[in-house]
Amino acid sequence: PLQSNSNDGDAIKVYVRVRPLTQGTGLTTDGDRSLCLAVTSEHTVRLNSKPEPRNFTYDHVADMDTSQESVFSFVAKNIVESCMNGYNGTIFAYGQTGSGKTFTMLGPNELTDFSDELRGVIPRSFEYLFFLISREVEKSAGAKSFLCKCSFIEIYNEQIFDLLDSASASLFLREDIKKGVFVEGAVEKYAASAAEAYQVLSMGWRNRRVASTSMNRESSRSHAVFTMTLESKEMGQGVVNIRTSQLNLVDLAGSERQRDTHAEGSRLKEASSINRSLMCLGQVIMALVDVSNGRSRHVCYRDSKLTFLLRDSLGGNAKTYIIANVHPGSKCFGETLSTLQFAQRAKLIKNKAMINEDTHGNVR
Amino acid sequence: MASTNSREWKAVCEKFRQAQDLSEIESRKDPENDPFRSKYKARELLKEIHCTVKNFEVDDRENEDRETDGQSGEHGDGEAINGGVHQVHAGDSRAGLRAAKLGVIEYYLGVNHIETEELSAGEEYLMTCLKLLDECTVTRENVSLLIQVRNQLGILWAGRDETETAQGFLEKAESIYTHYMKEDGQPPLDLVDFFVLEEDAPSQQERIRRFEMAYTHTLYYLAQVYKNMGQYERAGQYCHSTLQRQLKFSQFVPLEWAINAATLSQYYITKTRYMEARHCLAAANVIAGLAGEVPSEAAAKESEVEYEKREQLRQKRAEIARCWIKYCLNLLQDAKKLLEDNIGELDLDRQEELQRARRGEEEEKERGRKTAFLFDSTDTFDSICSQEEKVSCIFPLSFDEARAIFLVGQNYVTQAKEYFEMDGHVTDHIEILQDHSALFKVLAFFEEDLERRCKMHKRRVDMLEPICKDLNAQYYLLICRQLQFELAETFYEMMDLKLAVAEKQDQPDAHTIKKFNHLCSASIKYYQTFLDSIRSPEGKFPEKLEDDVLRPALVAKFRIARLQSKIITGNLATQLENLSLSLESYNFVVQYCENHPESKKSVETELELSEEMVSLLPIKINRIQGRIASSN
């Protein structure tokens, strides 16, 4: 009954998942069994901050015992279904390094087959998608056919790399009037089954790790975006009806690395070395311009690559779920707080573009 | 003190040089897993230097005591600068020099600790530096250090969310600079001057450059501090001063500077300060020009470097063009606000009154032009002025004046579109078209001839309609809605104009009626498409409208209602049908507001009229029904 709270109009939904405490993994919490938060209902979590504990409310809060299957059915099922109906969908995983993002999205390391109970949201989405596809094809008795393409890119330092072609140079984002924002020149691989899609994913994922050692990049400093483009063709009375939709699965960089992009506090940008230009002056001015009184103005500083790429997911007509992963250990208090706050703000993320409508309301 | 050419001193200088190298050059190559290796090495060297300098101090202690007795109290203005703290040494006395020398090392140690994320230790060093110098008057030997140490402390405290403490340090740095330049103004020493051999010392010019740069940074940090404190006006001022100084001392990257200036113009626009906005934009044009020629397409194909450069230059110039478009647009729109009467038409009396007032101000205009905010680089000043001359910065009061600004804006539209092509830059391209349409819309306001006005709106339709058809709503829902609404409004406006023209004629001919009805139905169609875009995937209209579409949706319903009732027809049955549809839409507005009282305030006027129509229309409908019945 409480589920009906989350009405369909919301562009973005937030699912908070609390991971179990870890042992012997080298995380900061080793040995310390005390917790900084408690799941108080299926929508709320209480953070033991001082002096007053703070409560946060989300579309769903999953405690430490939540199964992978349950995460999938809550978050992804609906999104995969609407993808079949021609709508775009996006699932983000957000959280501090070590908070369980990869486990949630992918499953345990070195996962190889689909029988593993611990497999994550992505393999389960593949299975479900292809299950739905074959059911549709059967039902339509051949009148309907599907085509599924996968691409996998990584955004690091505001540059885009193709994980399916590790030899490629950095790529550019472009926009097309019909197909929206896309990465120009990104490799697209066809997948005819869940296993094939998973193969593409793991190939790219491996590239991501290789990259992290050979080029001194940490995987947690990059965003990885796996995109499935689903094209359905329906023949009927001599007319061919084509529909396309996209499913984006996004593993965001560790939240602790994102302080710069989500810079809030009052840290000053520094012009440390004498010859460097004052890069962030523009950001300061931009903030001034932003608080303007509704006048039309142009801001020259562009969105980050990630928000540009997923622009449609952030408040268009796409279905979007953010999975915020948190670690309950006391020592993670700071990061957990910032993740919970981010997740709450995420609900407010909307494309602010307004209708150009005269507001002074002259009625003639 | 050890003499400056002793072997011992040479060793100190060598160590210092090494520490600088390690900290500034070597450290960039440090591995990820040991990121501060060079910084730690530099720190050790600095500590050794610190020890040596301290030892010199012990040797010289006796001299120091004697000297300070004679010097105290002689430097009145120094005291003023240091805020009334009692000074013991002149900055250029032996004791003062020693303090500066030690201070420099404390400063570098402080910065070193901050860079290696040991903030508290860093703070301690910086505070020691400050304390050493607090006992000295401000002189050319220590003024640079005094400013830089406060810059660092400002950054440090801002990082701790203690904005006011940061502000204190930075404002002090600012006043030290101002006083020094007023009272003394001699080229100051640089921080490294104390620890380099004569042959390695920076040139006079370089010293000045570094000193002025440090102060530019002070202003730059203050701009950020004021922004963080919500003092936007001051922040804007400091951004402006920062840019101005960068230009004056040739400390800038042209493209970046140009973009910053162009962005600042947008701030001025929001404050209706068009003279300043224009100055920023003119300067942006000139400085962007310094970034060099755009490489040809052929060259870009040959090399990646040329490709990047071409891309950068074209993009930034297009961005600046877009800032100009906004300038022209806002200037026109603000003038319109000034001139319109209560139904949004040009108020002729008001126009004459303003024109008269302006003639009176004409002579004062030149005098009133403030020079304080000008970007006064001698090299570029003339070019900036000639850029400014191309467009006015005062409100246009007549069609000709408005047209001149419109044409400048339109010219920039063409420029911006060259880079932001539809293919590849859909959103940007459409935004530019929307501005172009808005330029036509506001120009039409100044046009008195109704037919010509109508033609201007037709231009808007011609540029927006094809895109609206092609744009994929799955990816561009919000833009689609904006276009649909704008098209609906434009047709609506044209309908109104045709109506006004028709009212002047005795009996509109069939052609005019046909045209009029076409405009009505086109407008209805787009309002309806807009309303349909709000429906759920299952085709259901939402019970409760989201905030961002609330007013547009209700206005759309209201306009549809009015349009339905305007359609001209000789057929009574059709007229009856149209009026029923009209009533239905008026009813929707009234019903919705009844069910959601909180929405009333966003559509006050429309609601009032809708309520009136809901009570009047049934009478009219009844009358027609009566006529139909009687004619049968």
> How do residues B246-263 score in pLDDT, each as one tens digit?
998 988 889 999 999 999
Nearest to A291 among B232, B243, B319 (CB): B232
Q: Which residues of B touch A265 (CB under 8 A)?
A: 159, 161
Instruction: Please state which of the ranges A344-358, B326-340, B559-573, B597-611 shows the lowest mean pLDDT.
Output: A344-358
- Chain B residues 583-612 with CB within 8 Å of chain A: 603-606, 609
Count of CB atoms situated within 10 Å of the CB of B44: 13
Q: If you average pLDDT over residues B131-147, what whole number do you get?
A: 93
Long-range contacts of A75-80 (CB under 8 A, 24+ apart): A75/A15, A75/A121, A75/A321, A75/A323, A76/A121, A76/A124, A76/A125, A76/A128, A76/A321, A77/A128, A78/A319, A79/A125, A79/A247, A79/A319, A79/A321, A80/A125, A80/A128, A80/A129, A80/A132, A80/A247
How far from B325 is each of A297, A359, B416, CA to CA, in Å? 9, 22, 9
Q: Does B467 touch chain A (CB under 8 A)?
A: yes
Contacts with B416 (C-beta within 8 Å, 6 or more apart), sequence order: B318, B321, B322, B325, B432
For residue B152, give the chain A residue with the closest CA: A270
Q: Which residues of B touch A273 (CB under 8 A)?
A: 24
Long-range contacts of B443-448 (CB under 8 A, 24+ apart): B443/B332, B443/B402, B443/B403, B443/B406, B445/B336, B445/B339, B445/B340, B445/B344, B445/B346, B445/B402, B446/B336, B446/B346, B446/B396, B446/B398, B446/B399, B446/B402, B446/B403, B447/B399, B448/B346, B448/B399
Share of chain A above pLDDT 90, in %: 30
> What distance in Å separates the CA atoms of residue B609 and residue A251, rounded to the nearest whole number?
52
Residue A327 has pLDDT above 50, yes or no: yes
The residues that bridge with A56 in the sheet, in sequence order, are: A45
Query: How close is the nearest chain B Cα to the Cα of A353, in Å?
Result: 7
Q: In which band, very low, low, confident or very high, does the pLDDT at B631 lie, cut at 50, 70 and 90? A: confident
> What distance in Å separates the CA atoms of residue B261 and residue B284, rounded to the nearest whole number?
6
Q: Kindly state the tokens that stand for B581.
A: 């549809």
How far from B194 is each of B6, B101, B140, B201, B614, CA to CA, in Å? 14, 6, 12, 9, 87
Nearest to B235 among A216, A273, A288 (CB): A288
Q: Does A279 touch chain B (CB under 8 A)?
A: yes
For residue B308, give the chain A residue with the closest CA: A172
Query: How close is the nearest chain A Cα to the Cα of B240, in Å?
Result: 9
CB contact under 8 A, B478 and A291: no
Nearest in space to B530 (alpha carbons), one of B485, B477, B560: B485
Instruction: Please state which of the ranges A6-10, B240-244, B480-484 shows the lowest mean pLDDT.
Output: A6-10
Q: What is the pLDDT of residues B93-129, one digit of tens each?
A: 888 898 999 999 999 999 999 888 888 999 999 999 9
Q: What ipTM is given for this predicted complex?
A: 0.81
Q: If you average pLDDT over residues B23-50, what whole number do you get?
A: 87
CB contact under 8 A, A281 and B243: yes
Max mean pLDDT among A211-225, A291-305, B134-148 falls in: B134-148
Nearest to A297 among B220, B326, B486 (CB): B326
CB contact under 8 A, A285 and B260: yes
At B362 the pLDDT is 66
Query: How close is the nearest chain A Cα to the Cα of B389, in Å?
Result: 22
How far from B583 is each of A155, A336, B552, B557, CA to CA, in Å? 54, 55, 19, 11
Instruction: Please state which of the ranges A295-304, A350-359, B336-345, B536-545 shows the lowest mean pLDDT.
Output: A350-359
Q: Kindly state the tokens that stand for B108.
A: 């570098």
At B72 the pLDDT is 43
Q: If you average pLDDT over residues B48-68, what whole number do you get?
A: 67
CB contact under 8 A, A282 and B242: no
Nearest in space to A278 (alpha carbons), one of B41, B242, B58: B242
Contacts with B399 (C-beta within 8 Å, 6 or more apart), sequence order: B446, B447, B448
* Phi, psi for residue A62 in degrees, rounded to 5: -105, 130
**In this structure, which amino acid lies at residue B354?**
L
Q: If you average pLDDT over residues B410-432, what whole number do you get?
A: 96
DSSP, res A25: S
Q: In which band, very low, low, confident or very high, does the pLDDT at A212 lie, cut at 50, 70 and 90? A: low
Nearest to B210 among A266, A268, A274 (CB): A274
Q: Does B163 touch chain A (CB under 8 A)?
A: yes
Instruction: Please state which of the ranges A56-70, A102-116, B123-137, B389-403 shows the lowest mean pLDDT.
Output: A102-116
CB contact under 8 A, A277 and B239: no
Q: If you average pLDDT over residues B67-74, what whole number do you get?
A: 44
- Chain A residues 291-330 with CB within 8 Å of chain B: 291-293, 295-301, 311-312, 315-317
For residue B262, give the chain A residue with the closest CA: A300
Q: Which residues of A touch B343 (CB under 8 A)?
A: 362, 364
Q: If you average pLDDT over residues B416-444, what whole number do you get?
A: 96
> What distance in Å separates the CA atoms of residue B442 and residue B447, rounded to the nearest whole number?
9
CB contact under 8 A, B266 and A297: yes
At A253 the pLDDT is 75
Share of chain B above pLDDT 90, in %: 66
Q: Does A285 touch chain B (CB under 8 A)?
A: yes
HSE (side-chain half, CA atoms, 13 Å) at B515: 15
Q: Which residues of B touch A8 (CB under 8 A)?
A: 536
Q: What is the pLDDT of residues A101-128, one digit of tens each?
A: 888 998 886 666 667 888 999 999 999 9
Q: If you average pLDDT over residues B579-607, what whole number do you get?
A: 95
DSSP, collapsed to helix, strand or coil, labels residue B96 as helix
Q: Does A242 touch chain B (CB under 8 A)?
A: no
For residue B111, give the chain A residue with the closest CA: A272
Residue B588 has pLDDT above 70, yes or no: yes
CB contact under 8 A, A88 and B210: no
Q: Does B161 touch chain A (CB under 8 A)?
A: yes
Do A249 and A158 contact (CB within 8 A), yes or no?
no
Nearest to A175 among B252, B424, B549 (CB): B424
Q: If you average pLDDT over residues B346-371, what whole number do you get?
A: 76
Query: How close is the nearest chain A Cα to the Cα of B462, in Å?
Result: 18
- Record the pTM: 0.85
Q: Kindly state the tokens that stand for A241.
A: 């009806």
How far from A233 is each of A139, A239, A250, CA to CA, in Å? 14, 10, 27
Q: What is the pLDDT of residues A296-320, one digit of tens each?
A: 888 887 777 888 888 777 766 678 8
Q: In which band, very low, low, confident or very high, does the pLDDT at A23 lie, cut at 50, 70 and 90? A: low
Residue carrying the six token digits 């609407």: A82
Nearest to B482 among A87, A353, A359 (CB): A353
Q: Which residues of A touch B539 (CB under 8 A)?
A: none
CB contact under 8 A, A364 and B223: no
Q: Which residues of B touch A280 (CB under 8 A)?
A: 224
For residue B550, give the chain A residue with the closest CA: A355
Residue A215 has pLDDT above 70, yes or no: no
Q: Which residue has the higher pLDDT, B369 or A153?
A: A153
Q: Which residues of A touch B243 (CB under 8 A)?
A: 281
